[in-house]
Amino acid sequence: MQNNAEIILENQYKDKNLFITLIVALCFILLMPIIGVQHTIDYMIFCIYVLGYNILYGFLGRLSFGHMLYFGIGAYAGGLFARYIIPNPLLAMLVSLSAGALIGLILGPIIMRTTGACFALINLAFNKIGFFLAAVAFDKYTGGEDGFPVRYIKLDFLNFYNKYVTFFFVFICLLMVFYILKLLTGSSFGLIIKSIKEDERRVKFLGYNTYNYKLIVFIISTTITALAGFLTTINYGYVTTGFIDPNRNVEVIFAVLIGGADSLYGALLGGVIYMGITNYLAIYIARWEMFLGIILLILALKFKKGIWGYLEIIKEKVIKRG
């Protein structure tokens, strides 16, 4: 049951959210002619992944070191479904999203009971198990380290061999994810998960069952991450163990930190910046791991709020002065 205050709160924010989503849409459309269609698709998929990660880290305050597992589950579920059952992209997407939600529902009760360092490690441990299952245990079906190709059939106008169709499909997915998360974080639900981040005991004290909230956030996060994994199969047309590789977890952490963990815009900005660095700077950087490490160290020690966080501070200062 919603009480009146909540309904008023939601109505007030709905128009504003749509407006903001449109601005985000415009930004990505403007990005397309600058960096090309293929790059924009890559950037948008990565942004979906970062958004899914950020709802867990930025809003609930749980640092996962194994989110590639959920990304990989989305990719493998969609890819295997298309390969062995029906190569229908929409059905595969449904399977992929359900797989993401299901894994959240199964692992959530184990994982969400822990916090802090244990949480980070348990995700990593499950990611290792997932990688092993995909690369070794079921290599008859998944092709092991080499992976397998994924071909989706054409559905009327949904022809993913056309890059522009893929672009608009991913684009709409990104906007929907962004809009839903914007609604969610602006609602009373969002307030409660932010309060859990600050002090879980007090929220419990107010009579909320914090465990349910945490579990729901975890499932939302795994489902969105699985969506990003599925979109990658559409974009590249294959699935390999690189999509579930535990060593790639640092990418999304890097993106969230550089963008700023406290907001959705920070997540989008971080995703675009990380992809920009890998696309345009990686060729000039001979020692890639060291570069990532040094930047991460600077972000963790001196630049804690990320780029968006500092932009907001500057904005507040300007407003105060004006």
Partner 1 sequence: MIPFNTIAYGLTIGAILYIVSIGLSLTFGTMKIVNFAHAFIYTVGAYFLITFLALSQNNFFLATIIAVMLVIPISYIIERFVIRKLYGVSIDLAIIATYAVLLIGTDLIKWVWGTSPISLSDPLGGRMITFLSISLPLYRIVVILLAIILFFLVSLFFKLTVIGKIVIAALEDKEAVRSLGIKVDKYFSFIFILGSCLAALGGVLYAPIISIYPYMGSSLIITSFAVVIIGGLGNIQGTAISAFVLGIVMALTGIYWPPASEVVVFLVMAVSLIFKPIDV
* Contact residues: partner 1, CB under 8 A: 57, 61, 63, 65, 110, 113-118, 120-122, 124-126, 128-129, 132, 136-137, 247, 250, 253, 257, 287-290, 292-294, 296-297, 299-301, 304
**Residues 266-279: b if buried by 16+ CB within 10 A, e if exposed:** bbbbbbbbbbebbe
Q: How far apart are CA 67 and CA 35, in angstroms?
A: 27
Q: How far apart are CA 181 and CA 221, in angstroms?
A: 10
Q: Which is nearer to partner 1, 132 or 168 (CB)?
A: 132
Q: How far apart are CA 222 and CA 198, in angstroms?
A: 22
Strands 148-149 and 238-239: antiparallel
Q: Which is nearer to partner 1, 164 or 288 (CB)?
A: 288
Q: Which is nearer to partner 1, 17 or 249 (CB)?
A: 249
Q: Which is nearer to partner 1, 92 or 196 (CB)?
A: 196
Which H or E run contains 149? Answer: strand 148-149
Q: Which is nearer to partner 1, 31 or 292 (CB)?
A: 292
What's the token pair of residue 215? 């579990």
Q: What are phi and psi of 148, to 5 degrees?
A: -145, 155
What's the token pair of residue 293? 């490490």
The total number of residues shown for the chain amounts to: 322
- Rounded to the nearest whole angstrom, what is the least distance from the CB of residue 249 to partner 1 in the complex? 9
Q: Which is nearer to partner 1, 192 or 292 (CB)?
A: 292
Q: How far apart are CA 42 and CA 278, in angstroms?
A: 11
Spatial CA neighbour of 254 closest among 265, 239, 266:
266
Cβ atoms 54, 256 nearer than 8 A: yes
Q: Which is nearer to partner 1, 37 or 250 (CB)?
A: 250
- Rounded to the nearest whole angstrom, what is the least distance from the CB of residue 61 to partner 1 in the complex? 7
